[in-house]
Structure 1
């Protein structure tokens, strides 16, 4: 009897795993008896992805399964067939060799079974690997740099054997460029001219005065993930995982660059709250625990849900920390050159014409200021009155003010004299 029970458990586990793979719902692990959810999701996915008819390049329509397969094979065969021999030497010759002869021999050796196994197990169990990204190029609007872009793209095509898709390539110009010049450069590139690129890597490239309008898509995406039939097939533990892994993860990427409007975050949080407690539409359901308490970690009696407003601040503070600790990065050099060329990050001023991204990063400055202070070292770059440099004080700053003492020291190194404390200056300033 025990062997039969064990066999039934194994068959149920396999069935759930099968339907999970068919459903492509990677956020939810098998083992929580969610087979009905996986089955329904797989059926929905099959219905959505089913091709009933197809049209070929000549405009002919086909409905039979065999004909549809032939059109698809022909299309992708044409798409991925190279137009000639690849000439990668022109690119490889420009790259300095950094590997030794022994490494070359290792790379050229035949694959063994263990290497194949290791590579396969590094992949996601229900996904196929492949490249996913676009390229955004910035150049001056003149013929010389346009020719350079065309030359680079031509070299790429020759080296890779891939053909640039001109129908999906776009070009946009600054508002300061006159129409005649725009038309001339656009014809030379043969790209489609657009007023602006709507999104790049999922984020808006331009944000106007109505922030709520531009971030409405985040709210809509969360709603699509939570609405409908899902709560009928998920246990409450399954709903918790869906909220954490999908609903609360959707805004994360945008939160690294932008301060999301509080109104948007409040609506997202409300949707998550209603979904978790099983509330539908205007229906009222009992919320057994205050949502604020569910922010706590599980060992503290909560469920570890994110406080979206606090999390947004934390994501932006990470960018601010990058500016402070990686000052030679391209991002740090560009932002410093544009917004605070004559001061440090903490001294950067809020100005009316700053970008929304920079304004968002500056809004997180207070998070860094709560726990960061300057390492004094020799004190040549630490200001006595403005900088945070005293770890034993709550604010890390000098409590007294400089006042009208014009001759008072300005830098910390001025409080030292012949490698010892300048007691006279210390007594005058701080007693």
Structure 2
């Protein structure tokens, strides 16, 4: 069960700011206290994985718990204590309760009636981004097309210089989908439509009157120092955002979102982190999986802790090479899990005698 609550200020309650932040923090303590007492039963996306109980936002929160009347009462009690302390009230009209497909209909109705909160199969949007839990189609992101069409229709391209049109395209049309692209891999049809609209606007095309495009789109999307105009191809921009997410999975192992994704979709293999093969996965992970290989191709080790870097299998040498590929035949059977540190002397210099016997000059 996922319960989304929206909070609204009550006359006489605490002002928004530090005082409310302290109250929200106290609600987190209440939830953790119930968890320690084993009264709150959290959800786990994989067996033995990270326990999820709550996510807090500026004007709302999401609570996770087992779908039962007992848990509904625990949630209600915690929120009641929070409201009494903070002066906030729960906006029932804006709150929704979401159940997994495995929950029986009669149980769903009982919990919904007990909480006096409407059931839903769609958690809507947060900060303009759909909370996806189903199949994604072109219609899912039609609102992006509508926003671009509205902006495009309000501008008189023929009254603007080419430089002005390019500036508007970069600062407005290119920027509209940027926030959504950071967590959603948009369908190709959406990306192609955005590129067509931007091209048409730059060259001054109007409805029913198409002007000649004097420079091809690939050239326009090059950086200015390479002869382009600095515009961004929609698919390339989307891919760049997901490469950043993939890199975050490697560099931020302690973050909650990384722990959850790694538990569900990754595993430690002999060659490092490997993807689990899953046919059903979240839309976020579909995008990460698409760029994972591209991200790994660009990963290089910076030698700081010599004990962690593998001498033979990690890409730490200039030239994008793996030293295992250059082992001399006489060195076959050498420990391929050896670290960089094991190839140095006690004073930190390379063990030349050893290296000359296992690697070509």
Count of matched residue pairs = 315
Q: 1:396 to 1:221 in 2, by over 3 A?
A: farther
Matched, 1:224 2:224: no
More deviation, 294-303/261-270: 294-303
Residues 248 and 186 (structure 1 numbering): CA distance in 2 closer, same or farther, change over 3 Å?
same
- 1:416–1:176 Cα change, 3 Å: same
Shift of 1:208: 4.2
Find out whether 1:368 has 2:295 as its counterpart. Answer: yes
Structure 1 151/243 Cα, relative in aligned 2: closer, same or farther at 3 Å? Answer: farther
TM-score computed with the length of structure 2 as normaliser: 0.73
Gaps of at least 5 residues in structure 1 are 1-78, 96-130
Q: Tell me the distance in 2 between the aligned counterparts of 1:213 and 1:93.
A: 36
Whichever structure has more helix as a proportion of its residues is 1
Please give the alpha-carbon distance, in whole angstroms, between the structure 1 residues aligned to 2:188 and 2:25: 50
* Structure number with bigger Rg: 1
Which residue number corresponds to residue 40 of structure 2?
none
Residues 82-121 of structure 1 aligned to structure 2 (within 5 Å): 82=11
Distance change (3 Å), C-alpha of 1:429 and 1:214: farther
Aligned-pair CA distance for 1:271: 0.6
SS, match of residue 427 in structure 1: helix
| Contact 1:346/1:365, CA 8 A, preserved across alignment | no
Aligned residues of 1:320 and 1:364 also touching (Cα < 8 A) = yes
For residues 422 and 368 of structure 1, the distance between their equivalents in structure 2, rounded to whole angstroms, comes to 34
Note the C-alpha offset of 1:388: 2.4
Q: In the TM superposition, what is the alpha-carbon distance from 1:377 to its structure 2 partner?
A: 4.6
Aligned match of 1:137: 63
1:327 — aligned with what? Answer: 253
The 10-residue stretch of structure 1 (192-201 or 244-253) with the greater mean CA deviation from structure 2: 192-201
* Deviation for aligned residue 1:194: 0.9
Which structure 2 segments of 5+ residues have no match? Answer: 1-7, 27-56
The range that moved more, 419-428 or 353-362, is 419-428
What is the aligned counterpart of 2:336 among 409, 423, 426? 409
Alignment correspondent of 1:106:
none
Query: How far has the Cα of 1:248 moved from its partner?
Result: 1.0
Summarize the Cα distance change of 1:132–1:377 in structure 2 as closer, same or farther, 3 Å threshold.
Answer: closer
Q: Return the TM-score normalized by structure 1.
A: 0.62
Q: What CA deviation, in whole Å up to 9, does each residue of 1:370-399 have, x standing for no partner?
A: 432123455544445543232x12346643
Q: Describe the shift of the 1:201–1:137 C-alpha distance in structure 2 as closer, same or farther (beyond 3 A).
A: farther
The RMSD of aligned alpha carbons is: 3.6
Which of 264, 286, 298 aligns to 1:359? It is 286
Q: Does 1:347 pair with 2:284? A: no
SS of the aligned residue for 2:92 comes to coil
Which residue in 2 is equivalent to 1:193?
119
1:92, CA displacement in angstroms?
5.7
Compared CA separation, residues 273 and 416, structure 1 to 2 (3 A): same
